[in-house]
Amino acid sequence: MAKNKPAKTARAAAAQVINQVCQHHRALNGVLRLAQSHLPDKDTALCQHLCYGVLRWQPQLTAITGQLLNKPLKTKDGDISALLLVGLYQLREMRLPEHAVISETVNACAQLGKPWAKGLINATLRQYQREKENISEALSQHETSLYAHPQWLIDQIKHNWPNEWQAILQANNEHPPLFLRVNRQRTSRQAYLDLLQQQQIAATPTTLGNDGILLATPQDVFQLPGFSDGDVSVQDGAAQLVAAIVDVKPNQRILDACAAPGGKTCHLLEQEPANHVTALDIDASRLTQIEQNTDRLQLKATLIAADAADVSQWWDNTPFDRILIDAPCSGTGVIRRHPDIKQLRRDTDIDQLVATQQQLLENLWPLLNTDGLLIYTTCSVLKRENEQQMMAFLAQHPDAEEVLLTPEPATRQTVGYQRLPGQQNMDGFFYACLRRR
Q: Which span (56-64, 115-123, 211-219, 277-285) binds ligand SAM, by CB under 6 A?
A: 277-285
- Taking the least distance from each CB to ligand SAM, the nearer of 308 and 426 is 308
Site residues for ligand SAM, 60-89, by CB under 6 A, read none
Is 282 a binder of ligand SAM (CB under 6 A)?
A: yes
Is 261 a binder of ligand SAM (CB under 6 A)?
A: yes
Quote the least distance from Cβ 29 to ligand SAM, whole Å: 12
* Residues 327-346, mask of contacts with ligand SAM (x by CB under 6 A): -x------------------
Quote the least distance from Cβ 388 to ligand SAM, whole Å: 19
Is 305 a binder of ligand SAM (CB under 6 A)?
A: no
Q: Classify 276 as helix, strand or coil.
A: strand
Q: Which of 13, 24, 22, 78 is nearest to 50 (CA)?
A: 13
Q: Which span (181-189, 198-206, 279-287, 395-403) binds ligand SAM, by CB under 6 A?
A: 279-287
419-428 b/e (C-beta count within 10 Å ≥ 16 → b): bbbbbebbbb
Torsion sign over Cα 410, 411, 413, 418? negative
CA 217 to chain centre: 18
Quote the least distance from Cβ 408 to ligand SAM, whole Å: 21
Q: Which residues pair with 203 in a beta bridge?
A: 215
Size of interface with ligand SAM, in residues (CB under 6 A) = 19
Q: Are 146 and 171 in contact (CB under 8 A)?
A: no
In terms of residues, how long is the chain? Answer: 437
Selecting among 47, 266, 379, 433, the annotated active-site residue is 379
- Taking the least distance from each CB to ligand SAM, the nearer of 295 and 401 is 295
Quote the least distance from Cβ 360 to ligand SAM, whole Å: 6
* Residues 202-241, mask of contacts with ligand SAM (x by CB under 6 A): -------------------------------------x--
Tell me whether strands 368-378 and 429-436 are parallel, antiparallel or unpaired. antiparallel
CA 304 to chain centre: 23
CB atoms within 10 A of CB 111: 22
Q: Classify 196 as helix, strand or coil.
A: helix
How far apart, in Å, do the first and last CA atoms of the chain sit?
66
Q: Which span (22-30, 145-153, 282-290, 396-404) binds ligand SAM, by CB under 6 A?
A: 282-290
Q: Which of 271, 359, 286 is nearest to 322 (CA)?
A: 271
CA angle 40/109/345 to nearest 5° reads 80
CA angle 358/355/287 to nearest 5° reads 80
Q: Which of 131, 143, 307, 402 binds ligand SAM (CB under 6 A)?
A: 307
Instruction: Supply the DSSP symbol for 207.
Output: S
Is 246 a binder of ligand SAM (CB under 6 A)?
A: no
Q: Are 262 and 286 in contact (CB under 8 A)?
A: no
Integer Rg of the chain from CA: 23
Quote the least distance from Cβ 379 to ligand SAM, whole Å: 6
Q: State how far the Cα of 156 lies from the Cα of 165, in Å rounded to an integer.
A: 9
Q: Which span (145-153, 161-169, 251-259, 414-422) binds ligand SAM, by CB under 6 A?
A: 251-259
User: Any catalytic annotation for residue 379?
Assistant: yes
Q: Which span (201-209, 210-218, 281-289, 346-354) binds ligand SAM, by CB under 6 A?
A: 281-289
Q: Which of 53, 212, 230, 262 binds ligand SAM (CB under 6 A)?
A: 262
Q: Which of 108, 259, 354, 434 binds ligand SAM (CB under 6 A)?
A: 259
| Main-chain dihedrals φ then ψ at residue 203, nearest 5 degrees | -160, 155
Quote the least distance from Cβ 364 to ligand SAM, whole Å: 9
**Interhelix angle 41-68/78-93, nearest 10 degrees:** 100
Q: Which of 258, 301, 303, 434 binds ligand SAM (CB under 6 A)?
A: 258
Is 260 a binder of ligand SAM (CB under 6 A)?
A: yes
Q: Which of 87, 263, 416, 421 binds ligand SAM (CB under 6 A)?
A: 263
Catalytic residue IDs: 379
Q: Which residues bind ligand SAM (CB under 6 A)?
A: 239, 257-264, 280-283, 286, 307-309, 326, 328
